[in-house]
A and B are shown apart, each in its own frame.
Chain A
Amino acid sequence: GAVVSQHPSRVICKSGTSVKIECRSLDFQATTMFWYRQFPKQSLMLMATSNEGSKATYEQGVEKDKFLINHASLTLSTLTVTSAHPEDSSFYICSASDSFNQPQHFGDGTRLSIL
């Protein structure tokens, strides 16, 4: 089945640091990947749609300059949280599908803690 790998699984860093999270589709190509954020005991909130070879599409209220997304190949999308602050601490998860209208498969998530 489709496998999505996400790295790192956990990051703890100081306020002001930029953090890069990678999302890879291991056994399929994904022209589109999705990035979600989840706060404790809440649902997954879609942040942006990552499109291979073009600009990401951000959801309303998500700062483009704060959350930089790059989808340079059909198997890799990266999310960079720039100048992270404690309020950016959250669980970040990516997903991808091997074809349109097929179920999404999720990475293991990245738990980001900003001190």
Chain B
Amino acid sequence: GQSLEQPSEVTAVEGAIVQINCTYQTSGFYGLSWYQQHDGGAPTFLSYNALDGLEETGRFSSFLSRSDSYGYLLLQELQMKDSASYFCAVMDTDKLIFGTGTRLQVFP
């Protein structure tokens, strides 16, 4: 079957660094994406890895290891506005499959 596992919740303080892990098992793989979703809102695209390695976009970085079926999202210099749910997603052949989601709470 297909599965993308993430920790259910992560907490941190402002200014800290957090890493949200994602392990996946899918029949096909065309890349790992990360999305942010605030309560009541739609997902917004953060980052995408098609190849192994680290992608950096401002305060957010994403890493992929295809041999380990593993990736992570790294959030640096955390701000209160980063409190949201974060989803990894795998493009599996012809559709996007979402992970279980991680709720990040940032405290002052």
Contact = CB atoms under 8 A, between A and B. Distances in A.
The main secondary structure of chain A at its interface with chain B is strand
A103 interface: yes
Interface in A40-64: 42-46, 49
Place the interface of chain B in its size category. Answer: 20 to 34
Contacts, number: 47
Interface string B11-22: 000000000000
A106 B44 contact: yes
A108 B50 CA distance: 26
B88 to A, nearest CB: 10
A42 B45 CA distance: 18
A67 interface: no
Given A43-B101, A44-B87, A105 B96 contact: no
B42 A49 contact: no
Given A43-B100, A46-B95, A46-B96, A104 B33 contact: yes
Interface residues of A, number: 21
Interface of B: 30-31, 33, 35, 40-45, 48, 50, 87, 89, 91, 94-101
5 tightest CB-CB pairs across the interface, nearest first?
A109-B42, A44-B98, A106-B42, A43-B101, A108-B42
Interface of A: 6, 32, 34, 36, 42-46, 49, 93, 95, 101, 103-109, 111
